[in-house]
Chains A and B, each alone.
Chain A
Amino acid sequence: EIVLTQSPGTLSLSPGERATLSCRAGQSVVSSYLAWYQQKPGQAPRLLIYDASSRATGIPDRFSGSGSGTDFTLTISRLEPEDFAVYYCQQYGSSPRTFGQGTKVEIK
């Protein structure tokens, strides 16, 4: 099983700042099959990024994904008030498909 470790656990930032979230895999993720999801309190997760760097339909271009192998990054270029949430990475290159433990982006 591929373990995904997200860091930091919590990121305290102000609106307008840049957010950089990390997802590190215990072994290489096949074909960069990595996705990012956003979850707000009391809501279902929402797909942001798939295949490490492709934005899902309707996702603003301030969200970008990068990385390969074992190291992946989600960047939010300028935080909007609605971006404060928990973010999860997920690998789907190997069975079982696994999620990271999440990074909370909170208002500073």
Chain B
Amino acid sequence: DAGITQSPRHKVTETGTPVTLRCHQTENHRYMYWYRQDPGHGLRLIHYSYGVKDTDKGEVSDGYSVSRSKTEDFLLTLESATSSQTSVYFCAIRERGGLTGELFFGEGSRLTVL
């Protein structure tokens, strides 16, 4: 298994509270991604990072921010959680210039916003 750890794995929170999800990798891969998975929508890219302090928006970035201060950690923050952000969040990593372009996913963080 790729060395990806997501925390917390499960979280229940209330509307309006801040939430931070953490992705930690031991592979020293350059690229890191945050996706959300919802029934009927598949996997949608929230934000991604192509290096320390280098991040960019994905398809569904509104309401989310990210930070990457170290190669191994990529944080996803919901400044003020809403019920529409109830979802399963997946972190993924990819080796720079990897020939296969393969993404390695973590096991997900299930977030429920009440």
A and B: interacting chains: no
Residues of B within 8 A of A (CB): none
Residues of A within 8 A of B (CB): none
